[in-house]
């Protein structure tokens, strides 16, 4: 290998870093709108799924959502929408968020108009374990939430708890769903997230 002077080394690295920065920054800026559109579309897709709409084509997601969204009512601390659900009835969409095992988890809960029961949910996660915690996004888990009640027989807010089989305690069938076996922490995360569920006016 040739010997290089210190000046050469310094200039070489500086030039290389600068070049890479410029290229990556331009690519990043160039693709920014596309990435943001993906994020928005995904959000609407999640809400539509929670509201019971199946098979909305990817490309039509945004326009379809705008069609069924009756008003965008932002709560003080969380996003909230009033939409028309797939069964024709109005529903309130509330965003929930929390922590899984490896990173954030979040979701959209569609409540009946009086806010007492769940019409549907959809969850998402940043980096839960595939096949374990990641199962919170699957229908098998989310369908269990449909028609569950947020209040117990005395009218006390219990939310819908995610509990392991055998640890139900006094919880009514309509106030709980089964946790995912092998994904204790993620299930607990969903449980905590659901406990925080509030409708804001």
Nearest to 78 by CA among 186, 161, 162, 197: 197
Strands 176-178 and 80-84: unpaired
Task: For residue 24, state whether it binds another protein (rule: CB under 8 A).
Answer: yes
Report, in Å, the least distance between residue 107 CB and another protein: 14
Tokens 């995904």 correspond to: 42
| Overall size of the chain counted in residues | 201
Task: For residue 16, state whether it binds another protein (rule: CB under 8 A).
Answer: yes
Task: For residue 172, state whether it binds another protein (rule: CB under 8 A).
Answer: no
Task: For residue 18, state whether it binds another protein (rule: CB under 8 A).
Answer: no
Choose between 142 and 175: whose C-beta lies nearer to another protein.
142
Measured N-to-C along each axis, helices 6-50 and 61-68 cross at an angle, to the nearest 10 degrees, of: 50
Report the alpha-carbon distance of residue 67 to residue 36 in Å, rounded. Answer: 21
Report the alpha-carbon distance of residue 179 to residue 164 in Å, rounded. Answer: 5
Task: For residue 26, state whether it binds another protein (rule: CB under 8 A).
Answer: no
The one among 8, 40, 113, 153 contacting another protein by CB under 8 A: 8
Give the interface with another protein as residue ranges (CB under 8 A).
Answer: 1-2, 4, 8-9, 12-13, 16-17, 20, 23-24, 27-28, 31, 34-35, 38, 42, 103, 126-127, 129-132, 181-182
């Amino acid at each position: 290998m040739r010997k290089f002077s210190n000046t050469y080394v310094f200039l070489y690295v500086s030039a290389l870093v600068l070049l890479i920065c410029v290229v990556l920054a331009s690519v990043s800026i160039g693709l920014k709108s596309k990435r943001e559109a993906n994020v928005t579309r995904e959000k609407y897709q999640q809400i539509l799924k929670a509201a019971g709409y199946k098979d909305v084509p990817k490309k039509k997601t945004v326009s379809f959502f705008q069609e069924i969204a009756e008003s965008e009512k932002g709560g003080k601390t969380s996003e909230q929408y009033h939409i028309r659900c797939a069964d024709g009835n109005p529903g309130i969409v509330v965003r929930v968020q929390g922590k899984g095992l490896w990173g954030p988890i979040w979701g959209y809960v569609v409540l009946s108009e009086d806010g007492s029961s769940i019409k549907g949910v959809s969850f998402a996660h940043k980096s839960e374990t595939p096949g374990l915690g990641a199962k919170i996004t699957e229908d098998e888990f989310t369908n269990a939430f449909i028609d569950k009640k947020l209040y117990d027989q005395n009218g006390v807010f219990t939310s819908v708890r995610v509990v392991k089989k055998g640890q139900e305690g006094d919880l009514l069938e309509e106030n709980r769903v089964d946790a995912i076996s092998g994904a204790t922490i993620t299930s607990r995360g969903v449980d905590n997230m659901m406990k925080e569920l509030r409708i804001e006016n």
